[in-house]
Amino acid sequence: MYIDPQWRILTVGDGDLSFSASLLKYHQPQQLTATVYDQLAELVQKYGDQHYRELCNEQCSVLTGFDVTRTDSWGKLTKNSFDLVIFQFPLLPGFNSREEFEQKCGGFGLNALNRALLRTFLLNSVEHFLDPDGAGLCYITSKDVKPYREWSIETSLIQNTKLHYYGSMPFDIERFPGYRIRNVDRDKHVKDTKGITYVWGPKAENLLGDRLSKAKYLNKGYCALCRTGPFASDRDKQEHEQARKHQQMLDYERQWQQYLSSDLSF
């Protein structure tokens, strides 16, 4: 993950604030505002207050109870004042019961709902968080394993918007000492499987140049949905398209298109 020390950075959905604390200590951005979805009491009960205090001691602004989808939870945030907004390993918070899920899901599955969270993050970042005269970058770090890889992060999130997808770079956790990737709801940390940081922004030009690359499977002759290919022949391709895995991905795509044309869509 490339970080320019000149940047003013907003972190979204930090778990225990260990990412923001490490970012501040080892990359020293010009300015950092860290945000957590949980309220302060919940954060402290789940993970303790070590990183919260570290950040406060460094005069870093920390906002708790910050839901990136809800303007009314953003409190004292100074709008349109950041160069970069980062969401590390996003995932919807768990639901307490089947009933709660059915009440809140609007008829959509978890795949579409997670994509919706990421789309809203990107659109709100551009409209409310990024400085139009700044670097103009949004980072999402995720994993290339199920269920995350089934969200089609590179191709699906910015459909029918003016945003641009610039490419991706490896996320090297070694460059963030002390960072522990957290589960949504528990005081556990997630296995450090390889992370990839995907990058978007409102400007046509890719400011990060060849620090970013685009995956081969986005090219013609591959299946971007299943991240596979190239196909040796038409027959090879047809066989792939009939396989259960591909059909499942098509099903997720259909749901996503339904979501995008629904009233719930941003």
Ligand X SMILES: C[S@@+](CC[C@H](N)C(=O)[O-])C[C@H]1O[C@@H](n2cnc3c(N)ncnc32)[C@H](O)[C@@H]1O
Taking CB under 6 A as the binding criterion, the range among 8-16, 24-32, 144-152, 221-229 that sits at the site for ligand X is: 8-16
**CA distance linking residue 266 with residue 71, whole number of Å:** 13
Locate 78 and state its tokens.
Answer: 């100074």
Residues in a beta bridge with 141: 88, 197
Look at the alpha carbons of 85, 169, 119, 177 in this order and tell me if their dihedral is positive or negative: negative
Q: Which of 29, 90, 136, 167 binds ligand X (CB under 6 A)?
A: 90
**CA distance linking residue 119 with residue 124, whole number of Å:** 8
Instruction: Find the residue with minimal CB distance to ligand X.
Output: 13
Number of amino acids touching ligand X (CB under 6 A): 20
Q: Which of 152, 182, 198, 200 binds ligand X (CB under 6 A)?
A: 182
| Contact pattern for ligand X over residues 226 through 255, marking x by CB under 6 A | ------------------------------
HSE at residue 108, side-chain half, CA atoms within 13 A, is 25
Taking CB under 6 A as the binding criterion, the range among 20-28, 85-93, 97-105, 158-166 that sits at the site for ligand X is: 85-93
Based on the shown chain and the rule CB under 6 A, indicate whether residue 200 belongs to the binding site for ligand X.
no
CB closer to ligand X, 114 vs 152: 114
Q: Which of 7, 47, 52, 89 binds ligand X (CB under 6 A)?
A: 89
Nearest alpha carbon to residue 208 among 167, 163, 161, 153: 167
Taking CB under 6 A as the binding criterion, the range among 39-47, 87-95, 107-115, 198-206 that sits at the site for ligand X is: 87-95
Taking CB under 6 A as the binding criterion, the range among 47-55, 67-75, 106-114, 215-223 that sits at the site for ligand X is: 67-75
Nearest alpha carbon to residue 13 among 66, 78, 79, 54: 66
Contacts for 80 with CB less than 8 Å, ≥ 6 apart: 128, 129, 130, 131, 132
SS3 223: strand
User: What are the strands of the beta sheet with 61-63, ordered from one edge?
Assistant: 61-63, 31-35, 8-12, 84-88, 137-143, 195-201, 164-171
Beta-carbon count within 10 A of 20 CB: 29
Q: Which of 55, 84, 85, 91 binds ligand X (CB under 6 A)?
A: 91
Based on the shown chain and the rule CB under 6 A, indicate whether residue 19 belongs to the binding site for ligand X.
yes
Taking CB under 6 A as the binding criterion, the range among 40-48, 62-70, 196-204, 236-244 that sits at the site for ligand X is: 62-70
Q: What's the DSSP call for residue 199?
A: E
Based on the shown chain and the rule CB under 6 A, indicate whether residue 224 belongs to the binding site for ligand X.
no
**Sites for ligand X among residues 97-126 (CB under 6 A):** 117
Binding site for ligand X (CB under 6 A): 12-15, 19, 37, 67-69, 88-93, 117, 181-184
